[in-house]
Amino acid sequence: MEKEDALSASEEDSGDEPYIDRRAILDPPIRSVVDALGGYEHGVYSMGDECYGCLKDLKKYWRKDDTDDDRTVARIFWDTRVLPNDLIPILLQTAGQGHVEDKRAVACADLMTAMTWPIDLAEELKELDEQFDKGADYTQLLLSHLHYKAALLRPGVLKALFGIVLPCLAREGKERKERDVQIVNVVLHLVRNLAFIKDLPSNTYGSADQAELSSLQSRLIKGLSESHFIDLLLTIASSSAADQLFNQWNSLVLEIFYLLFRGVKPVSLASDQAKVSLLHASRLRPICEAHLRLSIPYNELFLGVASWLAGRRVERMSRSLLHGGVEPLAM
């Protein structure tokens, strides 16, 4: 379809609104912005002069999916591989480089959180237009989340994300601003999103890529432990009653722990870790070790997760960072 035909009326069946080929309209400008972010020179990523402005533009484009059941912008972002090829290199170069957070690093984390936001497949299918969205396929979007998770588990990425959070939490209560709270909120939601993404079923006869995508959750738990995120989550869980700042993240932290424990039998959580299977031990050991360091009774967290699960309601997952209770960052 040529550009001049991008806005084409489909008035054969009825007098409904004309069909708009959003892909033909949005693809060229989005790719132009992605190209302007930066690129590799002699194996080293070099950021463009207007990198921060481009990140803000990408967030504006992402919001256009709020009214698009087919998630056109999300599909274009996946096709461009902007998260592994651009956002992660920018994050690694800018995060944790000083006491003041770099706006580019925060903007990258903001986009990553939006791009990994859980997809409520049942609700998405309900909202599909019977005429225009007959061929909508969410398999690609779900697969993109798996690859995003694998990319974010590269060495140094979780540590860089922790480097964004640390300056915000290190400030005294009087010096802490609303933006600091928002930044921590964004990164915690990103951790939740990563924990939410399920691994592919293990397959003995699968390819090497399939094998990698079937063991991401264990790698995530190990990465969270090594980057001190587990310590942070346990600190929030144990200090929420005494600290008003931590109290607002209570339910989010419980959800993260639930997702990390998902698929593990309750008896394994309460048993001697030396006697459980190697698979479960590899997943639970980082959390158990963090508990010992913080001297938090293990059963307190287990009971907290259990009580949260008992009253847990499945809410509709929104399609952008602006939904789901996450406040937009003032860029």
158: confidence class by pLDDT, cuts 50, 70, 90: very high
131: confidence class by pLDDT, cuts 50, 70, 90: very low
pTM comes to 0.77
Read off the pLDDT of residues 64-74 as tens digits, 9 standing for 90 and up: 988 887 889 99
What does residue 326 show for φ and ψ, rounded to 5 degrees?
-90, 120
Q: What is the pLDDT of residue 120?
A: 72
Q: Which structure tokens are listed for 230?
A: 């587990």
Measure the CA–CA gap between 50 and 33, rounded to whole angstroms: 10
Q: Of the ranges 24-28, 44-48, 100-104, which one carries the lowest mean pLDDT score?
A: 100-104
- Mean of all residue pLDDT scores within the chain: 77
Q: Which structure tokens are listed for 120?
A: 């409520």
pLDDT score of 244 more than 90 = no
261: confidence class by pLDDT, cuts 50, 70, 90: confident
**For range 173-179, the mean pLDDT:** 81
Q: Would you kindly state where each structural domain of the chain is located, as residue ranges?
A: 18-196, 202-313
Q: Of the ranges 182-186, 209-213, 218-222, which one carries the lowest mean pLDDT score?
A: 209-213
pLDDT score of 146 more than 80 = yes
The residue to which tokens 């803000």 are assigned: 56
